[in-house]
Chains A and B, each alone.
Chain A
Amino acid sequence: MDTSLLPILLGVAVLLPLASFFTLLMIGRWLPQSWSGYIATTAIVTAGLLSFWSLSIWLFNHAPEAGSHQTAEHVASGQMPSVHARLVAQHDQPDGPAPATIPGQEPSPEVASHSPEAASHSPEAASQSPEAEHTSAEHGGKKHAYTDDYYLLGQFGRLRLTISYYIDSLTLVMFCVVSIIASCIHFYSMGYMHEEEGVFTDPEVTMKDGSLLKRPGRYWVFFMYLSLFCFSMLGLLLAGNVAMVFVFWELVGICSYFLIGFYVERKSASNAANKAFIVNRIGDFGMIIGLMALWTGLGTLAFGDVDASGNGTIEKAEQGIFTQVRSEESGYCLATPIGMVRQSARGEVGKWARQHPEAAVNGDTAELDKRLRQLQSERISDGKTPYGYWLLIIAGVGIFCGCVGKSAQFPLHVWLPDAMEGPTPVSALVHSATMVAAGVYLVGRFYPVFTPEVLFVIAIIGVFTLFMAATIAITATDIKRVLAYSTISQLGYMMMALGLGGWLAGMLHLVTHAFFKSLLLMCSGSVIHAVHTNEMPEMGGLRKKMPYTAYTMLVGCLAISGVCLPFLIGFSGYYSKDMILEQAFSFRGANAGWLGSLFFVTATGGAAITAFYMFRLWFMTFAGSPRNEHRYSHAYESPKTIYVPLVILAVFATAVAWHIPFVSVSLQGLLEQARPTGTAATVTSSMLGMTWPNEHIAHLDSQWWTIKFPVTMLATGTALGGILLAAVLYGFGVVNPDDVRRRFNLIYRFLINKWWFDELYDVLFVKPLHQISHVVSRIDQRWIDGLIDGLAWSVRWFARTWERVVDQGLVDGVVNVVGRWTYSIGASLRVVQTGSLRQYVMFLAIALIAIFLIVSFFWSPTLAF
């Protein structure tokens, strides 16, 4: 069980779906339809097994040690390990070896006030150098991430394009999550897509003659795309450099395009696919800008330090992004990398080059770097933004732009609800494990690069998204759209958590959400499969007909609502949501004022709304009496291939965040291992005048009464309140929902029209674009075409004249003369060509004799005689 196996295992796990994709691409058309399902499923299940194998290897080598989150919660305060304290204390030291290299970072009184216990532990911690702290933070000196190149594609100057990997516990957890969910979805799809196996009649597409469209089933195409999707996502997780990330990022995008537009004959589906793709392109444009900013400033694409020389020493040029941004000498605090500084302080560089021409010629930049550092610290002490800091912000915001697109954050969230046009398994995959998860994952991955200002942007976007989407979900009646908006809202939660400094909270929610959201979507798929409609008002009472679906979905609803026995046990959502709320609360404590409170208040309200609309969904679908008898009578429990994955996912949705008793292994502990070095620290932005509290603060035992207890109680209360409200309105019919709707008609209109986002975009972007295009097209037709026609006419005139004079007169004359000569010569020579073989042989023999005689007599007589 060597960790050197990891890249091989995971590499194979990534390639298996690709192999399946190629197999289906090449021969899928001719295989029996059911085989394609088996091939793809085998590939992803095997990938899943390999992922678990890798995870076990990881656990074997990196047992989560005391000091990570869950132990901090449960260990008595007297035995509390000093990691938290040290982490806090280290940034409390104004005169440490690396003083305040973060721009504007000053010793923050809030931090001190939040950690009195930490202060009591600080004497021994203070004496430790950052290196010592670092090694202990890196879990007993073991590497917390493995990164290397599989293959060097090419080296172009400084640019090294490689196929590389970056493996830490986050990668492994995500691998397992993606492969479990994808495996379940593959199984599910084998049942769900069985109509595609023969000739498929599309009920939503009517031909010109009024009949329904009939086409050959695309069962194998579906599985082919699924495989490619899994490959892209797994590749994105494994990617060890930015270039690979971008490639897989786009692959994920194109796969979602294919799958959303799977029913390509439906106008709505192809529109939705286009929409998803175009909206994502907008985000990706920002991402390219961010990546280019990173590349310009850092000169490398790799995440971690790649040992390019292969001899164990890390060359300076090959320091990864993370190392450069949070270098060892800056105490793993975010510091503007020297490359970015040099990039933006061009005036200073030029001045230096004029002063030191010989060093500039030799490319000896050590001196220059020293000078730049000096300048930077001068600017910091002046309270100015240091050189290159804006470049860092641009990089962060740019990358986040990509994530906004992929993770459907405001303002690019509009594609996700429409993406429900794809088959339900695809929705489940897109919403839980692959597409949208990619955005959050990337934010988590690039977390060390984000400056506080970027984090603020992320938090604002996240909080707005979570609220907006949650409100829209209240009124939606399409079962899948409710879930779509729920997804957007939950993604908003994650983004907000990340933006508020809750890295672990965000990542944990990503994982738990993946499970319960895939569960919910697949349950809804099962319902749709049974009743053949998406509209909840036509359902009701299905609990009796399809118990498996109903109760697994109930589990999903409970999980997403974060239902729990407070402090004892709960569904997975409880842990992650609580952690997010705690961080928000902690943030509120660190930042006074409405902005500080906004996040917590909105998030808590969002939690209530979430609980409400989820149970609204469940009650409308499963409880009460059937509203449409026809559909009810035709409903039936889905086949085993559909509900068995549901049960599996329900188990995961319940228990994935539990702390396994007697073993120090838990999801939180695992994820904590992957925390980027130096991010568990309190940071302050002077630009915004805000403080981001250390995530560990929220979980200190000392803060139990001030943070943990109130937040948990409040969250539980809001969740129960939401559930209760849903029960009152839809479950027991105490209050008629229609009355409520009439009373709040304006808000209802606002919400049912999804905040008029689509219309807004239409007015803001689409309509003006059409106008501009119209004008441009007129200019094109009138002026440019006229000009070109005129040019063409004059060229034609010139060509005609030229042809008459030069071509016909001069050139043709010469060619004709030559041709005539050739003809006459050929005509006189044709006599020789008698066509008689025997004559030719005689010619040959005579020529031989003649040559011999001529040579011997006239040239060199000694040759012959």
Chain B
Amino acid sequence: MEILGTITLLIFIVTLVATLLGWIKMPVQTVLIGITLVNIVLALIFFGLQGMADELRLVPADVIGRIILHPVTALLGGLFMGGVLGAAGGFEAIKAIVNRLRKTPLGLAGTLVILINIPLITMLPCGRIIAAALLPLLFMFGPEGSGTLRKTQLIVFIAAFARNSFGSCGPSPVGGVAQIAEGTLGGATFPDAAAGILRGPQVFSLMIGTAFMALFIRFVTKRLYPEDTVQIKDREGGVEPEIKVNWKGYTSLIIFALALLTATFISFIPSLKFITVQAIFVAASILIIIVCRVSLGDLMTGIILMPATAMVAGFLAAGSLYPTGGMQVLQSIFKGLAAFPLLGVVGTLVILVQAQTILPLSCSRILTAVFVPLIYVFGKGVGLTDLQIGIVMAAYIINATTSCAPSPLGGAGMMAEGQLRAETGYLKGAFSFTSLAVMAPLAAVFMRFITLDVFARNPQTGQMMFTATWGHLGQTILWSLVIMAAAYGLIVVMSRLITASLGRNRKVLIASFGLGGVLCGISLALALRLGEPVAGTSLGVSLVQGIIGGIIAAVLIALMIQVSFAGPPLKENVQAVEG
């Protein structure tokens, strides 16, 4: 059984890495389905050889049973809504509303900030739902459209929007990724965990992560386009083209907003709890179809098959590891790492937290379904308290939801890159870096100081504790500021070091990632230590362990990013801009 587990796990990881590095040039679905089939065939052969022929019958059901159906159907339901909304002109209505907002005291800057954060406000189960429709509209702010923004500004704007939208699946209450972990955390310590224990940290670190992503891209882009100070297309006489939106657009937008609100808050009404998100979305789409007289075909135009199919294929591939014993092998590998003195429990946890960014697949749920139970079992195994497991889980989930952005396998970040007409990989570095150095530590800090105290139950009395104090608030802000300042320093220094040479840029990239990893390791180790001691190590030892783990994870991430953020050499680039 162990041999079989090792072989299947090796097949899984090696094939995925080969696909990520571009050695296997096939759609990710094909690769994953291939892994599944190979693993199942191997399992059949092994079981057959061992004389466990009657075990064979249950293998297919076990594999198919690993499909988590809810996020797939919720995502497809959301995409239906997107398609209908687009056809009815709802997104045009958003544009008109934004145009109107610009003339209020909010001004252009405030409007852009809100626009960037629309995905975080709507919180759909997949960022693609809203990004697919809104990205082309946002692109029209740039030189090719109304010319409101310059090219560098546009790059920052689109990248920040993408970052925000592709993290929004984390805090979503309607089939979000965090729900997988919330339930696992639920139990004696956090009986109400499913009511949103992970959503606060997610939102917090996503907000700040978006801003840092924008900062990162700004510094890098400034180096790539040093001369980009003029607007490429002047506005003709300052007159902007008027956006015409008919009543259909506004109506559909209102129905959409109502459906979203219903979906968000329905779980708080006990008598209506049974209505699922999918049902609400389908009903709302059909309502829009009837009211706004959109054709039924428009329902389907919004569907992006890629995430749904990749998700199913990924669940199948990961599921094929269960009956073959690959999961036990994975667990024992991490246990072995934890026994290694230089890495220790803290170092292993830091690597585990980054596991998904190291293997960025096109949808985070593929591996989250594997890793969340693994982290829980691992944490219990090495003697972490429930609070500490909560901290690790918060940091893990934010990294997991981020992992679809830097994925080269049709990850969501590619939508932004494609929209910018850039080679794949231009934004990947920034996405990975912010999730490594800023978002995971911040989520851990927020979880440690604010959320856990709200959710934890007093072990003596069994009552819920509500002990978050002003001191906790101060500590949260202090720690966040320290982390943000360190990350800012890193970004500034790194952007200064970018030159015309790609090879040198790559070294800079790896070095800065390593430093980011150090930052991540230190803050995670501190957040864990501030709860209770970890596995009996002293503070200094756990700091060192965290740093080593962080560096290993960061270097692995940097190696997985094939194309560095520097893109083509500067010289050539400047020529291209000029010519």
Q: Is B one of A's binding partners?
A: no
Binding site for B on A (CB under 8 A): none
Binding site for A on B (CB under 8 A): none
